[in-house]
Amino acid sequence: MNSNTHLNDHLIHDLRTPIAMLSTLGAGQNLPKEIQDSLASCTQYLEGIVSRYFGLPAKPQSNHSIIQILNDKMDLFRNEKVNFKTELQSKIDDLSLLNIDPLNFNRLLFNLIGNAIGEFKANNISNPEISITSYNCKQYFYLSLSDNGCGFPPELLDGSSNPPSARGLGLGLNCIKQIIQESGGEFKLSNRPEGGADVLLQIPLVSNLGKTVVLYEDEPLFINLWKQTYRNSGMKLVINPQNPPEKDALIFIDVNLKEKSGLQIAQELHNKGHTNLFLTTSYEPEQFENISYIRGVIGKEPPALEIS
């Protein structure tokens, strides 16, 4: 590696670290959406400058955000003059943490919203409204879609009738129920006391929840971000342990620790039999591709834990 390449690597790292810090400022805070969007735009713009100047590929944006998927689906139906209300209380916003195929999840949402809108049209419902609520409890993610239509027929709710395409569109409720049950979840239909239908999806979280996540990091901002991310996740987060972690723990190590090299820590843990070793860094991942025992190289933000 010549001196210019070495200098560029350090410049990239030194530039990307504060960019990553900027991107975390709104994490866990109840900031207005316009401020969150501005922070995201600023960090994406700055990352673009670094990528263009040093000839690097732009970092891909995550397409696993549950909130973004919901927003995208609602946007598809904006022309239907439906009032959408959302109350998204779940601390989980990464689809990879749910035990369901992403394509099926997208199809479920599209069809459930489409079914409700079909009901509005068929019954000439004035001021149609769909409410979407999410929350997580223990090992499950819950998503509720309710509307102010005519509700489900009694024979559908009591099981005496189970039409393949109830409320008429897309997958049909039978197929939706089958997809949810195959994921290990539950699918419940009910009518609201004030009128309208309610569909409740109970989707299991992936098996990583319950595991121990270990972080070796010395920047307080990133430590706080990881704590906020996993506070209600069902996972145990351990910061800078003095003793070796559990053998099945997911271990994330900052490369540039002040007191000890992160690569040295990774080597020592590997020698002790640990296999779930990941590096957190603003350096390019290619620099570490020859370290065979490292399972992955990520940025400084908490990852989407989709390792099986």
| Per-residue model confidence as pLDDT tens digits over 211-235 | 899 999 999 989 998 888 887 767 8
User: Regarding beta strands 197-204 and 186-191, do their DSSP bridges make them parallel or antiparallel, or are they unpaired?
Assistant: antiparallel
Burial class (CB in 10 A: 0-12, 13-18, 19+), 250: buried
Instruction: Please state the separation of Cα 238 from the chain's center in Å.
Output: 21
> What superfamily does domain 66-204 belong to in CATH?
Histidine kinase-like ATPase, C-terminal domain (3.30.565.10)
Closest CA to 281 of 261, 258, 298: 298
In this structure, of 237-241, 263-267, 288-292, the range with the lowest mean pLDDT score is 288-292
Backbone angles phi, psi at 201, to 5 degrees: -105, 130
Give me the helix-helix angle, 3-24 and 33-53, nearest 10°.
180
Please determine, for residue 273, whether its predicted confidence score (pLDDT) is greater than 90.
Answer: yes
Distance CA 37, CA 60 (A): 17
Using a cut of 0.85, tell me whether the model's pTM lies above it.
no
Is CATH 2.130.10.30 the right assignment for the domain spanning 208-308?
no
SS3 state of residue 273? coil
Least confident of 38-52, 104-118, 219-233: 38-52
For the chain, the C-alpha Rg in angstroms (whole number) is 23
